[in-house]
Chain A
Amino acid sequence: MSKRSVADLKVGERGTIQSFDNQLLSLKLLEMGCLPGAEVCLSGKAPLGDPICLNVSGYCLAMRKSEAATILID
């Protein structure tokens, strides 16, 4: 099975960040607090299913699905 990413989460589901598969985006995501080992929770989706809202260490981060797909989880 290929690796799961944050984009595969269902609303309310949790995951632990493992790694990133896009170097440039990972820099942005890291700075925003998406760290390897951090727990994320998909807290909601925009009306058309994209962008999505993530809960990361106590705050809400909105990002596009394509960006969420670069965050690999356990």
Chain B
Amino acid sequence: MSSPVIALIGNPNAGKSSLFNQLTGLRQKTGNFPGVTVDKKSGSWPIDAHTTATVVDLPGVYSIYPKSLDEQLVTDILANPAHPDYPDVAIVVVDASNLHRNLLLFTQVADLGVPVILALNMLDVARQQAKEINAVRLAMRLGVPVVRINARVGEGIDQLVKAVLNQLQSPTVAGKLFFDPAEGATALITDTKEQYKLDNNYLALQYIIQHDGFSFLNRQQQAGLDALISKYQFSEPTFQAEETITRYKRIATVVAETVTDQRPANQPTWSQKLDRVLLHPVWGYAIFGFVLLLIFQAIFAWAQPFMDAIDTGVAWINGQLKESLPAGPLTDLLTDGILAGIGGILVFIPQIAFLFLLVALLEESGYMSRVMVIMDRIMRKFGLNGRSVVPLISGVACAVPAIIATRSIGTKRDRLITILVTPLMSCSARLPIYTILIALVVPNQRILGLFNLQGLALMALYLLGLISALVAAYILKLVLRSRERSFFIMELPTFKLPRWNHVGISVWESVRSFVWEAGRVILAISIVLWVLASYGPGDAMQQAEAHTRQQNPTLTDDTLANLVASERLEASYAGHFGHFIEPVIKPLGYDWKIGIALISSFAAREVFVGTMATIYSIGTGDDEGVTIRERLKQERNPETGGPMYTPALAWSLLVFYVFAMMCMSTLAATQRETRSWKWPAVQLIYMMVVAYISAFATYQLMQ
């Protein structure tokens, strides 16, 4: 066997990911599990000179009866020996300080007939709690190899290697089922095993209880199982509850024989003491508010120098390419199309990295679950869930990783609502639009000697996004009826020092999903846009250029070039589109020029500013922000003769961009996560309608 598959299975917070990182080091890759959209972490593990295994890190679960989408996957793999990720050996990682509950999952996995190894982790924590575990007795009692490890520092890996090699050479499964379903439902199990050619009693039970969720069974097979259930009048929940209780009873005797617990009763741990402050009616929210403030500070202030550096770097490369390559459409495509598109993606990386760095730190330390607890009551009113907090906060940087982060929400409806409203949180792509337009119409002055008026305007827009997300969630809660009961049951992990490699990997994952998911779309659209803006019907473009040159013989080269670019844009396909939609956007106060920018930013908001710069023929090179603002100030409204960018127009645009669903990548993420085209369509339509109506109202009222 050249590349066996080793699966890591365990409860959340049992140290599974630490072990994964220990075994695979930097030889990791992420992808999707075949057929489903759950993130797959896998990596190669050179066990010895002859064997390199593929290690698959499965989502953390408490049992093989799944509660959420990513948990579903564990059973989907373990119940289907034909699955490409079906393990040759399953390493079940358990938290030794909480052996009783952790063994539930272990006995279930062992009963499925997978060759297992029990990895006892966090023995140091158990020792701190004055618990000693007799690993030898445990191995004898369970009939499987047991290895003591410390996944954080990498102790016990040698023993694990030996155990894995042994299991690979002669796979042994636990001889007797820990819980044999045939004890209670003999006839049904026998019938199922016969009809579906199974030889494991517990696997047969999984077919019976979980067949609706098994993607590897076809309709006919699923219907056949339904028929069997009604034939024997089998009550799934009753049996499942029975199973869990029986397992725990047997586990209790195993634990009693193998663990000596000399813990003094009921001493509050320092985690509990900390919780008294963090869950405090006043301090709890005050601390959370402070943490939020810190996050915003990081996104807006700390990320700025990095963003500027990326901006300058891309501009420099662009300049170098333009100088060294022969002028022509191909060079233009490379510089103004592709490189500009890549720049538009890269510039958001610092903000996304900072946000997810802080979110990962908070999650690693255990604080984030406290936030979920203190926010659940409030979020519930809006049809959301305590767990929706993380996606909503993440949405401030980018909705794409935020939508992926909804996977931990167990209830389908809560998750769907969270996905649908997350894009209303003002993401970092809206920021350049906000800053330019605010600078245009809001005076840069202090009020009460303390607050900057422009800063307040910016904050108002972010609040508008947040409030609209909550309102939209509330409306969706009324519209989307569900028989499924919303629940919130969560283990609060003890506080720990963050593991830096985990934080690093988590940041890398978010940045990667943004660059890859959002980046591809933005890049593709930038290229399409470049084509639409560079070519026009017939020879309209050439005529426009010749006409401009003829009309302005006295202008300097630079100014003339900018003017020509602007005229060419009007004559291009993009310009035609702008004129075409003008009647629709007129009531919002926009003209065809803004129309072009609207259309182009439909794919991704950040394109807006660049397009405006081109339309108003502002050469690149100098500080773009200031130049655009100056140029927009000069723009005259051809009908009134007054300034084009009145406060009414600017606010109408600002409000439009708060609500409008102008991000293909987000729609694509919604499509993937909901596995349907209906929900991205709903999202697109409701957000666009709200955007249009509010921008219309803003313009008409302020005018």
Question: Using a CB–CB distance below 8 Å, which chain A residues touch chain B?
Answer: 23-33, 35-36, 41, 43-51, 53, 57-64, 67
Q: Contact check: which of A24, A29, A35, A58 meets B237 at CB < 8 Å?
A: A24
Q: Determine whether B685 belongs to the interface, using a CB cutoff of 8 Å to chain A.
A: no
Q: Is the CB of B376 within 8 A of A51?
A: yes
List B contacts of A23 (CB < 8 A): 237-238, 241
Q: Contact check: which of A47, A51, A57 meets B284 at CB < 8 Å?
A: A47
List of 4 A-B pairs having minimum Cβ-Cβ separation, nearest first: A60-B492, A47-B281, A33-B101, A30-B244
List B contacts of A63 (CB < 8 A): 487-490
Q: Determine whether B560 belongs to the interface, using a CB cutoff of 8 Å to chain A.
A: no
Q: Is the CB of B240 within 8 A of A27?
A: yes
List B contacts of A29 (CB < 8 A): 489
Q: Is the CB of A46 within 8 A of B129?
A: no
Known: A23-B241, A27-B240, A57-B100. 7 other contacts (CB 8 A): A23-B237, A27-B237, A28-B489, A44-B276, A46-B284, A60-B492, A64-B380
Q: Contact check: which of B97, B244, B281, B377 meets A50 at CB < 8 Å?
A: B377
List B contacts of A28 (CB < 8 A): 67, 487, 489
Q: Determine whether B317 belongs to the interface, using a CB cutoff of 8 Å to chain A.
A: no
Q: Contact check: which of B101, B245, B380 meets A32 at CB < 8 Å?
A: B101
In the complex, how many angstroms separate the beta carbon of B304 from the nearest chain A beta carbon?
A: 34
Q: Is the CB of A32 within 8 A of B488?
A: no
Q: Is the CB of B275 within 8 A of A35?
A: no
Q: Of residues 485 to 539 in B, which have CB atoms within 8 Å of A's CB atoms?
A: 485, 487-492, 494
In the complex, how many angstroms separate the beta carbon of B213 from the nearest chain A beta carbon?
A: 15
Q: Contact check: which of B100, B238, B279, B487 meets A45 at CB < 8 Å?
A: B279
A-B contact pairs, 23 of them (CB 8 A): A23-B241, A26-B241, A27-B65, A30-B248, A32-B101, A32-B489, A33-B248, A35-B245, A35-B248, A36-B245, A44-B275, A47-B374, A49-B377, A51-B376, A53-B492, A58-B97, A59-B98, A59-B101, A60-B271, A62-B491, A62-B492, A64-B376, A67-B489
Q: Is the CB of B276 within 8 A of A31?
A: no
In the complex, how many angstroms separate the beta carbon of B136 from the nearest chain A beta carbon?
A: 24
Residue of A nearest to B380 (CB): A64
Q: Determine whether B272 belongs to the interface, using a CB cutoff of 8 Å to chain A.
A: yes
List A contacts of B248 (CB < 8 A): 30, 33, 35
- Assess A51 versus B245: contact at CB under 8 Å? Given A24-B485, A57-B100, A67-B488: no
* B345-371 interface code vs A (CB 8 A; 1 in, 0 out): 000000000000000000000000100
CA distance A35 to B101 in the complex (A): 10
Question: Using a CB–CB distance below 8 Å, which chain B residues touch chain A?
Answer: 62-63, 65, 67, 97-98, 100-101, 104, 129, 237-238, 240-241, 244-245, 248, 263, 266, 271-272, 275-276, 279-282, 284-285, 369, 372-374, 376-378, 380, 386, 485, 487-492, 494
List B contacts of A49 (CB < 8 A): 377
Q: Is the CB of A43 within 8 A of B272?
A: yes
List A contacts of B272 (CB < 8 A): 43-44, 60
In the complex, how many angstroms separate the beta carbon of B132 from the nearest chain A beta carbon?
A: 15
CA distance A27 to B242 in the complex (A): 9
Residue of B nearest to A48 (CB): B377
Q: Is the CB of A62 within 8 A of B369?
A: yes
Q: Is the CB of B63 within 8 A of A31?
A: yes
In the complex, how many angstroms separate the beta carbon of A18 from the nearest chain B beta carbon?
A: 13
CA distance A41 to B373 in the complex (A): 17
CA distance A28 to B241 in the complex (A): 9
Q: Is the CB of A46 within 8 A of B101?
A: no
CA distance A51 to B491 in the complex (A): 12
List A contacts of B282 (CB < 8 A): 47
Q: Is the CB of B129 within 8 A of A58?
A: yes
CA distance A2 to B276 in the complex (A): 31
Q: Is the CB of A60 within 8 A of B491?
A: yes
Q: Is the CB of A53 within 8 A of B491?
A: no
In the complex, how many angstroms separate the beta carbon of B593 from the nearest chain A beta carbon?
A: 50
List A contacts of B241 (CB < 8 A): 23, 26-27, 30
List A contacts of B386 (CB < 8 A): 51
Residue of B nearest to A14 (CB): B266
- Assess A53 versus B63: contact at CB under 8 Å? Given A28-B487, A36-B245, A47-B285: no
List B contacts of A36 (CB < 8 A): 245
